Structure 1
Amino acid sequence: MNLILHIGMGKTGTSAIQAALSSSADRLAAQGAEYLGMWFDMLDPRFRGVQNQEQFFSLPPEEMTHAADLLIEMLRARSAAGIQSFILSNEALSGKVGQMKPMINRLREAGIAVRVIGYARNPASWLPSAYVQWGCVIRLSLARCSLTRSGRVSWCIGILAYCIGIDRWATSWKSDPMTRPAIS
């Protein structure tokens, strides 16, 4: 049994990947795969949506391990129907390797192969795109597309943390081929 975690980064086609996975349930099932979605709401409805994902990521290690047990139970039940590969795609995972470690360790102990896929873009094209979406559209109104100096500094620190998150996944399980991320 396999669990594929698509960890982003944002602005690398993640929304298109998620839309394609979401609209391809029959084709995935024919190949023994299932898209679980973006959130961990299959474990608890309170984790659904971007506004609630931090509740999941802030679980203490023992609760994250319990969440892994729930996920294992769910995956085993679905594998009885012939599904052997499961996909979860969420850009926020890119910066959450530390929070996810107890879950991934428990999944591995249960014999589930965990694969991590992350994509990165050349910063010269990625930063302007990220700024337009996250710096202007989301954080400010569409009518205003400028940040104060302190706002720009804060935004840049957040972007750096996001990028560093991808690298942390790549280095967390260096010697373990079962969970070694395939960062493209």
Structure 2
Amino acid sequence: MPEGHPQSKRRLIIHAGLGKSGSSAIQKYCRDHAAELRQANASYLGMFLERGDPLPGGFTSADDLQRALADDPAIEDRLVDLLSRRIAARPGITTFIWSHIALATNADLIGRVIARLAPDCETQVVLFFRHQASWLVSAYLQWGVKHKSTVGPIRSFAEWLPEAAARGADYRQVIERWRHAIAPERLHVRSYDAAPDVVTDFLGVAGLPAPAESEGALRHYQTPDPTVMTLYRLYQGQQEGEALPGPLQRTLAAHGVEKRRYRDVDPASTLPSGSAWDRFVAGFDEENAALARDYGLALTAPSTGPGPEPSHSAPAVVIPALLDLIIAMDRRISALERQLKEQQ
């Protein structure tokens, strides 16, 4: 970092997670409100330090950074170099924000990075936690189902629970590791449950102006509707190894299905069956006898009733979503056909 800079020491605010605790809302606000942050002399560095001109040694995606945190033996030097260059490239900025949920379980590494940046940059770390029960359910649906992070068939919730430790499920362990990695006064432990608006809470901790009014920032990304999650289960359940939800997620998003909320509909038939059907048919005997006598109209009673109900009705919960996809695709095909006809 350049020496002799006239302004005071810069600040780096690291939002380290946890995932499924408002991280998407914080990241979206920082992406979408760069101008407001700039007015407060603040700048968002992105999830994988991507915001700005491309830098040698940079990461290609948030997942690439997450892999590097686990596998790159030079990750400490790499992070110090990238952070230093990103900060030095913005001489008019005093506060920088970096957000990535994988940092939550890498306190020792990030603590060393913070120590090396200390001569030029004071760093604070913010962690959000929500009640374990709701967090574990949300985490399972995200990493156990939607973004399949295990090999083999999709695991049940109980089978997946041991995997949650790698995501930060032991809150005490996460907090204590950070308290040993950095000065405790630099660590901000926040309750997602107690925050009316997680973005406003984060900005307050960072010493930055809050939004003029709430934008529903508490939950930018909500767990998809159970109907949509069933689609993810059916899709990801066919994948043998770890699998991102990309192809299905893009299709659902393109047609407005992913964020829809579906009504629970009982797929069971309401038609009479068995003895109830026999009584229903017999109820017309007297009238039909009179029709035959008066008009010569001979009607034959059906020999069998409606077919039996399916023994497994659960797959029916995905039908509304499939219908949305079919209708959306039909509309697009119709529009393309009209365009083709006009060109001809």
User: Which is worse superposed, 96-105 or 67-76?
Assistant: 67-76
Confirm or deny that 1:35 pairs with 2:44: yes
Q: Distance in 2 between matches of 1:31 and 1:76?
A: 18
Q: Distance in 2 between matches of 1:152 and 1:89?
A: 26
What's the Cα RMSD here? Answer: 2.8
* Structure 2 alignment gaps of length 5 or more: 1-9, 191-344
Secondary structure (helix, strand or coil) at the match of 1:128 reads helix
The percentage of counterpart residues that share the same residue type is: 31
Give the aligned partner of residue 95 of structure 1.
105
Residue 53 of structure 1 and its aligned partner are, at CA, apart by: 1.1
Secondary structure (helix, strand or coil) at the match of 2:21 reads coil
Per the alignment, do residues 29 and 93 of structure 1 end up closer, same or farther by CA in structure 2, a change over 3 Å counting? same
Per the alignment, do residues 43 and 3 of structure 1 end up closer, same or farther by CA in structure 2, a change over 3 Å counting? farther
Per the alignment, do residues 65 and 21 of structure 1 end up closer, same or farther by CA in structure 2, a change over 3 Å counting? same
Match runs of 1:167-178 below 5 Å: 167-174=176-183, 177=185
Give the aligned partner of residue 117 of structure 2.
107
Confirm or deny that 1:50 pairs with 2:62: yes
Confirm or deny that 1:14 pairs with 2:23: yes
Per the alignment, do residues 99 and 161 of structure 1 end up closer, same or farther by CA in structure 2, a change over 3 Å counting? farther
* Structure 1 alignment gaps of length 5 or more: none
Give the aligned partner of residue 317 of structure 2.
none
Q: Distance in 2 between matches of 1:74 and 1:16?
A: 23
Deviations 1:82-121 (A, max 9, x none): 210000000000011122233211100x231101001001
Per the alignment, do residues 145 and 115 of structure 1 end up closer, same or farther by CA in structure 2, a change over 3 Å counting? same
- Contact 2:112 2:181 survives alignment (8 Å): no
Structure number with the bigger relative contact order (C-alpha 8 A, sep ≥ 6) is: 1
Q: Distance in 2 between matches of 1:112 and 1:48?
A: 25
Per the alignment, do residues 106 and 43 of structure 1 end up closer, same or farther by CA in structure 2, a change over 3 Å counting? farther
Residue 60 of structure 1 and its aligned partner are, at CA, apart by: 3.5
Give the aligned partner of residue 123 of structure 1.
132
- Computing the radius of gyration over CA atoms, which structure comes out larger, 1 or 2? 2
TM-score by length of 2: 0.45
Residue 134 of structure 1 and its aligned partner are, at CA, apart by: 1.3
Give the aligned partner of residue 86 of structure 1.
96
Deviations 1:135-156 (A, max 9, x none): 111117xxx864397x525424
Q: Distance in 1 between matches of 2:72 and 2:77?
A: 9
Give the aligned partner of residue 183 of structure 1.
189
User: Which is worse superposed, 51-60 or 23-32?
Assistant: 51-60
Q: Distance in 2 between matches of 1:160 and 1:33?
A: 29
Per the alignment, do residues 50 and 162 of structure 1 end up closer, same or farther by CA in structure 2, a change over 3 Å counting? farther
